[in-house]
Amino acid sequence: MEFTKGHGTGNDFVILPDPDGTLDLTPGLVAALCDRRRGLGGDGVLRVVRAAKHPEGVALAGEAEWFMDYWNSDGSFAEMCGNGARVFVRYLLDRSLAAASSSSSSSSSGGTLPIATRAGLVRARVEGADVAVEMRRPRLYDTATATLGGLTLPGAAVDVGNPHLVCALPAALELTGLDLTRAPEVDAGTFPAGVNVEFTTPGEPVTGADAHVLMRVYERGSAETLSCGTGACAVGAVALRDAGLDTGTVAVDVPGGRLTVTVTADSCWLSGPAVLVATGTLTPSALTP
């Protein structure tokens, strides 16, 4: 079985090509692949499957050739993964499975490439070394708290296709001081399917951005990661709201680098590096689910 390893600002993925959807991918196999000592290591798995060949992609097969079958490292599914989508697109382009700007069936007008996901269709474009994906506009729908050790912080619940809770740290606290080795406690009533929790502090002004935010994240199903694209979009939307803006651009610094979030009237663009680092052959029998 062939695999490729890739990452977007340090959010890393095992990419499995499975165009015809024949791979028996199980939660146990995903967790074994993502194990950083006994497997390849990763925050998640991206299965590259034709939309027409996946039960959750088939409804979008007329609009997108490929379905991003994303799994968290614990073997759970998520509706959406922003960095994963950017790395997925890098893989499709690198393998000539799609073209970013042509009139072929796998790309649409304006040079964007449609990708089917559990959260619906997203569109991607290449921006030099970066890959940008256009997702739904983040929806701020509630308030809730996260408790970490003895610290309880209020935050904004945000839907980016998957659930997020964005909590600003009080000025006296530093992001680097947070212990994210354990999951923050949240209200299961507000987040029945779990939630990704982002912690933020304001950054210095950045040229061309309406706001600049530093963030760390504890991801549902993957623990602390170096970056979360949908989390950055949630953080960007909250930063714009706090600045009294409905649309705009936010620089979001994560431990793995910088992401740029642009919220428009009806969508959200996430941009940043997307890198493929290795390709090899798996020995599935050696993996211990």
Ligand X SMILES: N[C@@H](CCC[C@H](N)C(=O)O)C(=O)O
Position among 57, 138, 221, 256 found at the interface with ligand X (CB under 6 A): 221
Position among 107, 112, 117, 196 found at the interface with ligand X (CB under 6 A): 196
The CA-atom distances, in angstroms, between 81 and each of 171, 270, 281, 287 are 30, 11, 25, 25
Smallest gap from Cβ 105 to ligand X, in A, equals 27
Q: For the chain, give percent helix, strand, coil, nearest 5.
A: 15, 45, 40
Report the SS3 class of residue 183. Answer: coil
Q: Assess 230 for contact with ligand X (CB under 6 A).
A: yes
Q: Assess 260 for contact with ligand X (CB under 6 A).
A: no
Please indicate if the annotation marks 280 as binding a ligand: no
Pick 104 or 139: Cβ nearer ligand X? 139
Question: What CA–CA distance (Å, rounded) separates 77 from 71?
Answer: 5
Q: Which residues of 129-163 are buried (b: 16+ CB within 10 A; e: fewer)?
A: ebbbbbbbbbeeeeebebebeebebebbbbbbbbb
Smallest gap from Cβ 109 to ligand X, in A, equals 26
Size of the site for ligand X (CB under 6 A): 17
Question: What CA–CA distance (Å, rounded) separates 202 from 173?
Answer: 12
Q: Which stretch binds ligand X (CB under 6 A): 95-103, 223-231, 245-253, 280-288?
A: 223-231
Question: What CA–CA distance (Å, rounded) separates 166 from 200?
Answer: 7
Q: Assess 229 for contact with ligand X (CB under 6 A).
A: yes
Q: Assess 11 for contact with ligand X (CB under 6 A).
A: yes
Please indicate if the annotation marks 57 as binding a ligand: no
Q: Assess 6 for contact with ligand X (CB under 6 A).
A: no
Smallest gap from Cβ 104 to ligand X, in A, equals 27
Q: Assess 15 for contact with ligand X (CB under 6 A).
A: no
Q: Lay out the site mask for ligand X across 58-77 (x = CB under 6 A, - = otherwise).
A: --------------x-----
Active site residues: 81, 228
Pick 99 or 257: Cβ nearer ligand X? 257
Smallest gap from Cβ 29 to ligand X, in A, equals 18
Q: Which helix (H) or strand (E) holds 31?
A: helix 27-34
Position among 4, 83, 200, 262 found at the interface with ligand X (CB under 6 A): 83
Lookup: tokens for 95: 């393998």
Q: Which helix (H) or strand (E) holds 225?
A: strand 223-225
Question: What CA–CA distance (Å, rounded) separates 184 from 130?
Answer: 32
Angle at 231 between CA 225 and CA 235, to 5 degrees: 130
Q: Assess 253 for contact with ligand X (CB under 6 A).
A: no
Q: Assess 220 for contact with ligand X (CB under 6 A).
A: yes
Phi-psi region of 149 (alpha: psi -120 to 50; beta: other; left: phi over 0): left
Please indicate if the annotation marks 82 as binding a ligand: yes
Binding site for ligand X (CB under 6 A): 11, 72, 78, 81-84, 162, 196, 219-222, 225, 228-230
Instruction: Name the binding residues for substrate.
Output: 11, 72, 82-83, 162, 196, 219-220, 229-230
